Structures are given as structure tokens and as C-alpha cells.
Amino acid sequence: MKISKSLIVLGCILFATFGSCCQYGGKTYRNHCYMYFSQKVNWFEAQMLCRQRGGYLVHIDNYWENNWLAKQYRDYRWIWIDATDIAREGHWRSWYTGKAVFTNWSRGNPNNAGKIQHCATLNWGGVGLWDDDYCFKGHPFICEAQKTEC
Ligand SMILES: [Ca+2]
Ligand SMILES: [Ca+2]
């Protein structure tokens, strides 16, 4: 019993991701951890950086999660989230699950400006609202991870 607990703690130290116990300043909602990164990267880099940290680019499941996130990060604009229509125009999917996603577009969006806006951002045109933007633009991002016990 004692050994297994030590192993879990060791595991958390070895794989020191933000998801581990939410101990790196992440915020908790339900059973998930969220961490904001101000570093401006393109949408693909954001996906990879979150995976490197043991999580995934924030995946917004529903209205309540969207609202909670928007309020927590209300001071930030154009935050990359996990929704894209790069595979098929107008078909918004999660890169992580491959499934259709909840959306909360701002007025006039998604407008697919220049016919090349295929990645979604949170907090544009109002807190909690979404804009489709150019995937190669630099934006901050939020990683999400399953909360782990330590
Ligand atoms: Ca598009
Ligand atoms: Ca747009």
C-alpha cells in the first residue's frame, strides 16, 4: 500500500506535467486541469506542446465548460482551442477525438476569411465567443489534462 503510493508520487515527479495534481498553477474544473500558456505559437505547435506536457489542447465539451473557461481567462483574447475544420470546410471537429464539437461562434463567424481560417479560438468578439482564425498565426493556448491524484 505504502509502496504503491510512493510509486504514484514518483510517477508524478518523473512525468511532471501540469496535469499531475494540478500543482503547477493550473485551474481545476470537474476532473480536469487547465493551464494557460501566453507563449504565442501556431495551432499545431499548441497541439504538440500540450501533448508533450501530458495533456491535450483544451477540448470544450459544452456550454458550461465554455463559460467556466471564458471567465477564468477573460483577460485573454484569441486563445487556441481544439476545434478545426481543416479536414473538411465547415465540418468542425476535435483533432483529439475526431468527433464533432460543441461550438460558440461570435457574430459573423466562422467566416473562413481568405478561405483559409480553419482553427478555432476562444474569447474573440466577447467573453466565451469563438472565432475561426488562420492556423499558422501565433496565439496563446490552454492545455487540458485529466486530473491525477498524488
Ligand atoms: Ca474554415
Ligand atoms: Ca474568422
Number of domains in the chain: 1
3-state secondary structure 72-98: HCCCCCCEEEEEECCCCCCCCECCCCC
- Indicate if the pLDDT at residue 8 is higher than 80: no
Give, as residue ranges, everything with CB less than 5 Å from ion ligand 1.
85, 112, 118
Model-level pTM? 0.86
Q: Find the ligand nearest to 109 CA.
A: 2
Helix (H, G, I), strand (E, B) or coil at 147: coil
At 13 the pLDDT is 47
Report the candidate in 124, 121, 147, 144 with the shortest Cα–Cα distance to residue 134.
121
- Indicate if the pLDDT at residue 5 is higher than 80: no
Burial track 49-62 (b if 16+ CB lie within 10 A, e otherwise): bbeebbbbbbbbee
Q: Find the ligand nearest to 116 CA.
A: 1
Q: Find the ligand nearest to 86 CA.
A: 1
- Backbone dihedral angles phi then psi of residue 53, each to the nearest 5 degrees: -95, 10
What's the 146 CA to ligand 1 centre distance in angstroms?
29
Residue-number span of the structural domain to which 90 is assigned: 2-146
Range in 13-17, 102-106, 144-148 the model is least confident about: 13-17
Domain of 23, CATH number, reads 3.10.100.10
Q: Find the ligand nearest to 108 CA.
A: 2
What's the 43 CA to ligand 2 centre distance in angstroms?
14
At 24 the pLDDT is 63
Summarize pLDDT for 9-59 with one digit per residue, the tens. 444 444 456 655 565 678 999 989 999 999 999 999 999 999 998 899 999
C-alpha 145: how far from chain center? 9
Spatial contact of 28 and 145, defined as CB atoms under 8 Å apart: no
